[in-house]
Amino acid sequence: MLPYFKRAEDNSRGADAWHGVGGPLGVSDLRHVSPLSQCLIAAAVSAGLSHNTDFNGATQEGFGLYQVTQRNGARCSAASAYLAPARGRANLHVLTQALTTRVLLDGQSAVGVEMLRHGQRVRIEGTTVTLCGGALNSPQLLLLSGIGPAAALRAHGIALVQDLPGVGANLQDHLDICTLVESNSRDTYDRTHDLAVALRFLLTRRGIGTSNIAEAGGFARSRYASGAECDLQFHFVPALLDNHGRTRLPGRGYTLHACALHPRSRGWLTLVSADPTAPIRIHANYLSDAQGHDLRMLLEGVRMAREIFAQAPFAAVHGREIFPGADAQDESALTAFIRRKAETIYHPVGTCRMGNDEHAVVDAALRVHGIAGLRVVDAAVIPELPSGNTNAPTIMLAERAADLLLGRVPPKA
């Protein structure tokens, strides 16, 4: 997979054994870093964890600053990296305001898609179909097309085309728990002047407007880690971040997210109805594994977050702990806190899992089992969560898919 990561990348630090240059996806160092993010790194080191200047290099373990998918201080999304440069091509036609409603099938072959656009039903025909609706919507589209678990399709009156019990199953996500602390530091981002930040960004491409906010963090092997792989990831935010940022807390402070990288809980998603405009039902099923592994990992994440915050580099700015809070000390109080407050960091994968067993949905070439001319190319096919964020792995997968579609030889390792 490394050659595809490298081919995608245009890293401002230059090329090396782990990184590429010249690819569509701009990757760079942050232009603006809060002194509190540097404080986090110093505190982690003081707690006995290592410093790492490149999580995507030879070693993942340690604390440091994240590199970001940016060009010239601005977000380099998949659309700006890949779509914008291709917009002028004669063989590319982008339809917006279109909801794909199902794959058109002729027997066991995909022959196009149907969509709703401005209230009209539109059919687009072709010889191959590539679904990339993401881990929640690609399985929905397969189900709506009669590809999925036979009983679930029957329940909604959808004619069965291919019985694939794995469609919508095996849902995995990174669950996150935040430790929030009040601070007297003026370096938090809680009370920034939004207009001034925006103006500075627009005029100079500098300042807080270029920050990904979760500037620093790290990867750790907890005391439960069995091998060399990290099992916890941390994102530090120099602001009070509660409820995905939807709840604005008074005052100033900072937040340390801890996330279990390899959850054992598995969820699933189902159709609510055969109406493609109806949302699906998501059973995330977090913290449900029989061994209690996922809960144990988040308990460990909170313990480590507290230990890092207790180090000398934070001493001058550290205030009252808001969450979990001083009262939450024993395991049962912390467990209740985690069950109440843990939240997704939006990394769903696995709902059209790649493999060759009876629960697999696509094969190693991303082709849907039993259906000719149909591929899924998105996070849905990732069989198990990667040890980190999911955007770059999904782009890597799309690079691989491009070779498969074009019949190109893979790049050299």
Ligand X SMILES: Cc1cc2nc3c(=O)[nH]c(=O)nc-3n(C[C@H](O)[C@H](O)[C@H](O)COP(=O)(O)OP(=O)(O)OC[C@H]3O[C@@H](n4cnc5c(N)ncnc54)[C@H](O)[C@@H]3O)c2cc1C
Q: How far is the CB of 385 from ligand X (least distance, A)?
A: 10
Nearest to 54 by CA among 46, 45, 63: 63
Selected range binding ligand X among 28-36, 133-141, 301-309, 356-364, rule: CB under 6 A: 133-141
Sequence-ordered alpha helix ranges (H) in 156-239:
194-204
Of positions 33, 71, 134, 273, contacts ligand X by CB under 6 A: 134
347 scored as a contact of ligand X (CB under 6 A) = yes
Q: How far is the CB of 363 from ligand X (least distance, A)?
A: 18
Q: Which residue has the tokens 């025909």?
A: 125
347 flagged as catalytic: yes
HEC string of 301-363 equals: HHHHHHHHHCCHHHCCCEEEEEECCCCCCCHHHHHHHHHHHCEECCCCECCCCECCCCCCCEC
Of positions 378, 386, 396, 400, contacts ligand X by CB under 6 A: 378
Q: Which is nearer to ligand X, 347 or 353 (CB)?
A: 347
211 scored as a contact of ligand X (CB under 6 A) = no
394 scored as a contact of ligand X (CB under 6 A) = yes
- SS3 label, residue 396: helix
Of positions 319, 391, 402, 405, contacts ligand X by CB under 6 A: 391
> How far is residue 49's CA from residue 276's CA, in Å, rounded to a whole number?
49
Output b/e per residue, 326-357; b: 16+ Cβ within 10 A.
eebeeeeebbebbeebbeebebbbbbbbbbee
Q: Which residue has the tokens 């986090």?
A: 40
Q: How far is the CB of 283 from ligand X (least distance, A)?
A: 18
390 scored as a contact of ligand X (CB under 6 A) = yes
133 scored as a contact of ligand X (CB under 6 A) = yes
Q: Which is nearer to ligand X, 211 or 390 (CB)?
A: 390
Site string for ligand X, 65-104 (x = CB under 6 A): ----------------------------------xx----
> How far is residue 140's CA from residue 148's CA, in Å, rounded to a whole number?
9
383 scored as a contact of ligand X (CB under 6 A) = no
Peptide bond between residue 324 and the one before it cis (omega within 30 degrees of 0): yes
Residues annotated as catalytic are 347
**Positions that interact with ligand X (CB under 6 A):** 99-100, 132-135, 137, 141, 346-347, 378-379, 389-392, 394
